[in-house]
Amino acid sequence: MSDARTEVLARVRAALGQTGSGTTPSGKVGTAPHPEPVPRAYRASGEHAVGSPEVLEQLVDRLVDYKAHVHQITADALPATVAALVAELSEPQGGIARSGSDNSPGPELSEPQGGIAPPGSDNSRGGRVVVPDGLDDAWLAALPAEVDVVRDSREQPLAAADLDAVAAVVTAARVAISETGTIVLDGEPDQGRRAISLVPDVHLCVVRADQAVQTVPEAVRLLGAHPERPLTWISGPSATSDIELDRVEGVHGPRTLHVLLVG
Amino acid sequence: MSQTFLGLPTRRRTTDAADEPFGPVPHPQEPLRWGDDFPAAAKQTLKNDQLRRNLGHATQVIRTKRAAVVGEVPDWEALRDAGSAVKQQVMAHLPDLLQQLEENVVARGGVVHWARDAAEANRIVADIAKAKGADEVVKIKSMATQEIGLNEALADEGIAAIETDLAELIVQLADDMPSHILVPAIHRNRSEIRDIFLARMGDAPPDLSDVPRELAMAARAHLRRKFLSAKVAVSGANFAVADTGTLAVVESEGNGRMCLTLPETLVTVMGIEKLVPTFDDLEVFLQLLPRSSTGERMNPYTSMWSGVTPGDGPQEFHLVLLDNGRTDVLADEVGRSALHCIRCSACLNVCPVYERVGGHAYGSVYPGPIGAILTPQLTASTGGVSGHHDPNASLPYASSLCGACYEVCPVKIDIPSILVDLRAREVDADRSSRGVDPWRTAMKAAAWVMADGDRFALAGRAATLGSGLGGRDHAISVAPPPASAWTKARDLPAPPRQTFRQWWQAEHETTPEHEEGAR
């Protein structure tokens, strides 16, 4: 045990009035606090059932409010929707100001050898999609053959630079919260490593209707079953308001978030 | 020199030369104590019209957003009650909870370090970076690392700390200091930011405009190269869960996720007060924080991790538990609730004083109402609360005690009461440090006068002689000594032509039967 550990703990005890612990740095010995018991009068759950039409309606409203693109579809339509959104990637993106000296030339469809585009590249690459290796293959069934699907896993992870050369990522989700428009990924095999839903510029996230809860406490208690899993809570695309509080969507994370709400 | 009494103290510190062309504020030796004392610094910043315009706009926008999203939560007050009580529990059981956190982080593959002060924490981080052979680390915006001056300490060791939050990047490139807990570059407008990027970023496009989207994209391109190559990242923590060893970082831009995910090694520096006892407690704070802070229902990204996850994210995780004055705050029965703060900055946005003087006037990385109670207490061991010549002792006066900060605080910290308590202690300390105290002498004289009815009446009649001194508004703005000590800070109302006793006598002598009847 280090000296600092012993001393910091002794100071904390002294601050709380536990005698025989010495003093705090300014020579104080505090008094024992009398904390009130925690009142849990807040809502532990919402008034609407998991996956109910009310919850879904609210979820869509809040997602759209934070500039996510929402596609409410049936399970049957999922593969075609994924294919259509991936096809959009190779179309030129209008309106996004590009800057920096790293502008590589357009879509790199001319690189079919399974090779990886050079690092430092920031452009959407039409045609290359990364998926976690536990993703349901059926979701990708409608993708045309020329789309290069790269599988990523904890055992065989893509390097960050390789991920940077990928246009989009398709993942599942663990839970969604309607009141806040939040989707949570917990790193299980159908959601993948945290990096894959971060570095590509477009995120296609598939959420089942029965995964949508109304409130934050409902989600936290569900996630609490596996607190050791790395969690990523996502509410819309990345954003900043650091310049004159003018909101700009898409800084470092994916600039486009598609939520495919199934069911 | 000090003239401390009810009004505003006037201690002055020397400031280094301005850092042209951008930084009116040079990097301080002490992140919790820099520049002039509050009254002198406020006088300077109040002259800056640009700053006031930027701040007035910013605080108003955030206030409105916050009010809207708080208003839509039906159980907001119940959440505040729970948040406040959870934090009280944390403080009461801090030794056990800290050890529980340590145990769980270690069990999940992390390494836990303890730091008594800033120097020790900086040493730990520098040693880790050096052991990894890193001459560059990427950083997530963190109040704790600002408080300990980590970037400067790493620079002394030849390690460049790169701020990746857009606002922190702006501040860092300008060699400036942050002026707000949440939006540190809020004192800068878009054209200033463009000029800073063009002059200092190195790879900014020469035709960069001042459109916020273009500026943000320039930062994206600049930083992506750093993210992809960085070996070591440094972060703070919004919450640490004792019973699971889970750390949480709440952010907007995704720079946090980049730092927490891509480098091989992650070092998290957190104050010992940042704990919550159980994972479920997050359900309270993840509702309170985003709505209070950015005025969003939820911030774009929140990351949680417990130790090391094999194959996902950093494979080496260090947690540095920082005291740096916190135990002194904890020892204070009244002031300890300042440690409940979750750094949302709602109190800054509603404070009429902050809105006008801006963050730099507080001379600390913690500005605004929470800074006014936290900074003096964190620096208590070096005179922050009671130091006769310490600028931090003037911070509790940086408030009108209007109470707006308490109203919006998501964990119900009674900031006004703590301000009053700190003022009392500053006055007490001042009294004992002086030989002859004019204020105390005056109070003693007043006590003698007021102890006797006849003496009081005489004094009252004497005071009416000054009734002609006031201007048209019956206020005396400049008085000769010793009353000048008062009029330097505020107006003195001119005495009336007649005392209350004289008025009473005149009224009741004409109608004596009323007096009889009353008895």
Distance CA A236, CA A258 (A): 9
**With a CB-CB cutoff of 8 Å, which residues 480-509 of chain B face chain A?**
none
Q: Name the 3-class secondary structure at B249.
A: strand
Return the exposure string of A97-121: e unless at least 16 CB atoms fall within 10 Å of the residue's CB, then b.
Answer: eebbebeeeebbeeeeeeebbebbb
Distance CA B22, CA B195 (A): 9
At B512 the pLDDT is 54
* Average pLDDT score, chain B: 89
Residue A173 has pLDDT above 80, yes or no: yes
Instruction: Sort out which chain A residues have CB atoms less than 8 A from B63's CB and list them.
Output: none
Structure token digits, residue A250: 């898409």
At B126 the pLDDT is 98
Residue B167 has pLDDT above 80, yes or no: yes
Residue B506 has pLDDT above 50, yes or no: yes
At B485 the pLDDT is 74
At B432 the pLDDT is 67
**Do A35 and B208 lie within an 8 Å CB cutoff?**
no
Residue B479 has pLDDT above 90, yes or no: no
Residue B74 has pLDDT above 90, yes or no: yes
B330 in contact with A at a CB cutoff of 8 Å?
yes
Strands B301-306 and A231-234: antiparallel
Of A66, A119, A236, the CB nearest to B228: A119
Residue whose token pair is 């706009």: B57
Instruction: Give the residue-averaged pLDDT of A102-129.
Output: 43
**Do B92 and A33 lie within an 8 Å CB cutoff?**
yes
Instruction: Give the residue-averaged pLDDT of B182-198.
Output: 91
Instruction: Give the residue-averaged pLDDT of A137-159.
Output: 95
Instruction: Give the residue-averaged pLDDT of B2-17.
Output: 37
Q: Model confidence at A235, in pLDDT bands (50, 70, 90)? A: very high
At B4 the pLDDT is 33
Of B81, B170, B220, the CB nearest to A41: B81
**With a CB-CB cutoff of 8 Å, which residues 32-91 of chain A face chain B?**
32-43, 62, 66
Instruction: Give the residue-averaged pLDDT of B268-273.
Output: 98
Residue A108 has pLDDT above 60, yes or no: no
Percent of chain B clearing pLDDT 70 (strictly above): 92
Element (H or E) spanning B226, and its range?
Answer: helix B212-229
Backbone angles phi, psi at A65, to 5 degrees: -60, -35
Q: pTM (2 decimals)?
A: 0.87
At A86 the pLDDT is 95
At B387 the pLDDT is 77
Residue A103 has pLDDT above 50, yes or no: no
At B514 the pLDDT is 53
Q: For residues B44 and B23, which has the higher predicted lDDT (pLDDT)?
A: B44
At A135 the pLDDT is 98
B26-68 pLDDT, tens per residue?
A: 567 788 988 889 999 999 999 988 888 888 988 999 999 999 9
Backbone angles phi, psi at A146, to 5 degrees: -75, -10
Kindly report the three-state secondary structure assignment for every residue of B32-69.
Answer: CCCCCCHHHHHHHHCCCHHHHHHHHHHHHHHHHHHHHH
Backbone angles phi, psi at B310, to 5 degrees: -55, 125
At B434 the pLDDT is 62
A243 in contact with B at a CB cutoff of 8 Å?
yes
B325-369 pLDDT, tens per residue?
A: 999 999 999 999 999 999 999 999 999 999 999 999 999 999 999
A178-189 pLDDT, tens per residue?
A: 999 999 999 999
Residue whose token pair is 């703070």: B236
Residue A111 has pLDDT above 50, yes or no: no
DSSP A137: G
**Do B183 and A246 lie within an 8 Å CB cutoff?**
no
**Do A235 and B310 lie within an 8 Å CB cutoff?**
no
Closest residue in chain B to residue A3, using alpha carbons only: B114
**Do A4 and B116 lie within an 8 Å CB cutoff?**
yes
At A123 the pLDDT is 43
Most confidently modeled range among A90-104, A162-176, A232-246: A162-176
Residue A20 has pLDDT above 70, yes or no: yes
Residue A100 has pLDDT above 90, yes or no: no
From the CA atom positions of chain A, what is the Rg in Å?
23
At B466 the pLDDT is 77
Q: Where are the beta strands (DSSP E) in B105-168?
A: 110-115, 136-139, 160-163
A239-249 pLDDT, tens per residue?
A: 888 888 888 88
A202 CB contacts (<8 Å, ≥6 apart)? A85, A89, A124, A167, A168, A169, A254, A255, A256, A257, A258
Lowest mean pLDDT: which of A204-208, B237-241, B341-345, B430-434?
A: B430-434
Vertex B91: Cα angle to A8 and B303 (nearest 5) = 90
Q: Model confidence at A29, in pLDDT bands (50, 70, 90)? A: very high
At A242 the pLDDT is 86
